[in-house]
Structure 1
Amino acid sequence: MKNYIIKRIVSIIPIIFAITFLAFILINIVPSDPAEVAIRVNDAVATPEAIEITRAELGLDDPFFVRYYNWLRKSVQLDFGNSYISKKPVLDELLRVLPATIQLALASLVIIIIISIPIGVLSAVYKDSLFDKGVRSIVFIGTAMPNYWIGLLLIWLFSVKLNLLPTSGKGDIKHLILPSITLSLTYISIYIRLIRNNMLENMRENYVLYANVRGLRQRSIVLKHILKNSIHSCITAFGMSIAQLIAGTFVIESIFAWPGIGMLCISAIFNRDYPVIQAYILMMAFIFIICNLVVDIINYYIDPRMRKGIDAK
């Protein structure tokens, strides 16, 4: 297992370099001058002298690869520069809003697990029943509807019409309900279908027939054998959901004015706060890579077939 982890870590190094280069070059090919943007964002006058001084401070007159090397070296040290808007270190700005995004993502993940697993299991056990057909219809609709539309619909129903929940901001638990439900609904639909399909596939395996011949209780067969094997193949999807949920808060936070990293990035995009945008890209990429690595290690540990295939190479 140690060798596998080392190989996986080595394999992601080129990916990390590619992402850092992409994040750097995207900002450098924009038509506007970062030095002029840094001056104008605070309503200051961008005189030629001020632009020249700012370019020197930001190192924009250096050759391209020198700037990339300096930026990459500082980024490795978690020094992403200062925000053009707040003049504070970008890392401090990210750490200030990151807990709110993690809170929203984890709340959504809990909702996904609590709802999708039981309904997916019941839908498979009672295949082609009225319950199963209803679930499949709802899943189809839930998968097709975009998050922003769901969010607006929930605001209209629970805030405008029923006046039960707040529409925006971050305060008590009530403020978390609508954003977390909105963020989780699409994933609930996806995982209900995934679990149902995996359950039905495992129900056709020989070990299920053998368990029935042995006279095991149906409940035991479903929960201890079929569900267990079905969940194995869902771990990758569930693991990557953490990264997807954090990235997906970008839209949800803007709808509900949730003060997380998505809102910070939206503000940075509109104000062309390039250091914050670059740091956001790197953070999201790093989260995806780490989640993917952790999921692969878990699968290697719990799946003998995967372990045997990798060790044989």
Structure 2
Amino acid sequence: MALATFVDGQRPLLAGLGPDLGELADSALAFVVGGKRLRPQFCLAGWLIAGGEPTDAGFVTAAASLEWLQASALVHDDLMDGSDTRRGRPSIHREYEARHRHDGRSGDAAGFGLSTAVLLGDLMLSWCDEMFTGAVLASARLAPHIRPARAFLDLCKSEVVAGQFLDVVGQTRASLTVDEAMKVVRYKSAKYTVERPLHIGAALAGASPELIAGLSDIALPLGEAFQLRDDVLGVFGDPSVTGKPAGDDLREGKRTVLVARTSEITDDAGRTLLRDQLGTADGVDAVRSLIESSGALAAVEADIALLEGQADAAIEALGAREILGPLALTATRRTR
């Protein structure tokens, strides 16, 4: 509801700039339908743990703004990866490529889709800042805490870009170690999905440095477990549930922790298969089978269980079981 209300407020501005911009607003709003809302949920958890009121309307709007940050990252991620679908529907660059062809427009359809995806992702990132700052400044309860909360939001944006770049650079290398792949996991996902949203919510409620540190003890292992689960689903998940084709990461040649574990524990023949087949459409089944038969899938599942245990112990130490216990399970024991 908060996202739709915000977009409705943007429509007069966009309509005044040109008739084609209405469909851009429609696409943005449609894109955020059906998401897991994990970042706003973790932001709410941080707020509640720090003593915030669950029904504070200004906070709800501020937390919801993190969905625009997530949407921006996904639109750009799909473009960089050449992904055809997202949440069971065409990715933004494919949607606008198809619109170009359907309307019989001049020029390059693929280039139009690419350009639109870049611009829409940028617009969503701008909307995150605008919606967050507007909600906080409009609330007497939240406004005094805008500086620390904004600092965490700014860190979140910088860290996810850094993590994305580490991921891009990783794909240019013949292989990554498990430690190198885990660094990508930490910055591309763990901090961005769990740690910084928790910090933002807690900061808006006036959290102490000690509480912020305690939230990090929970967030980092939990966020890493979340991304490892995402990697497993990307290879072995059911496309009808995940909304993404199974094996996309393998087709794209991503050096995930699953792949790094496989390279670490397989034999020379397995490493040769990885070298020759990873990043090819024809090699998806062979690489998927190697990940499972080598024991890498089991090893990553064990990593997830270990990280879950660390997060669980930190939740217990902070006395946040009621608020964070169910959310932690949602993040790591999921099918999409």
Q: TM above 0.5, one fold?
A: no
TM-score, length of structure 2 as denominator length: 0.26
Higher relative contact order (CA 8 A, sep 6+): 1
TM-score, length of structure 1 as denominator length: 0.28
